[in-house]
Amino acid sequence: MKFTLLMLICSYVAGECMTPYPMPTQHTNMYSCLEAGYKESLKKLQEIGPQDVNEHEIYLRFICKQYETPKLPA
């Protein structure tokens, strides 16, 4: 099984989240996906900056979605 990290940027002011963005790196287990999610969330929070975060009440969410890799025919 593999895991894809999906990042979401949300706003309490707007009352909604943007469409989930799939990160390009695939993960081989849940732990590494969650670890990447926390790291990427912090990077994105710092990129957005305190002014926009405070003004729009932005928060970040992430999901680690499991999927099966397709098996090639023999």
Buried b (16+ CB within 10 A) or exposed e, 15-45: eeeeebeebeeebeeeeebeebbeebbeeee
Average pLDDT over residues 40-64: 97
> What number is the average pLDDT over the span 31-35?
98
Least-confidence region, from 45-49, 53-57, 65-69:
65-69
Tokens of 57: 């009440």
Asked whether the predicted pLDDT for residue 11 surpasses 80, the reply is yes
CA gap 10, 29 in Å, rounded: 26
Q: Is the pLDDT of residue 74 over 70?
A: no
Is pLDDT at 43 greater than 70 in this prediction? yes
Global pTM reads 0.82
Looking up tokens 């090639």 gives: 72
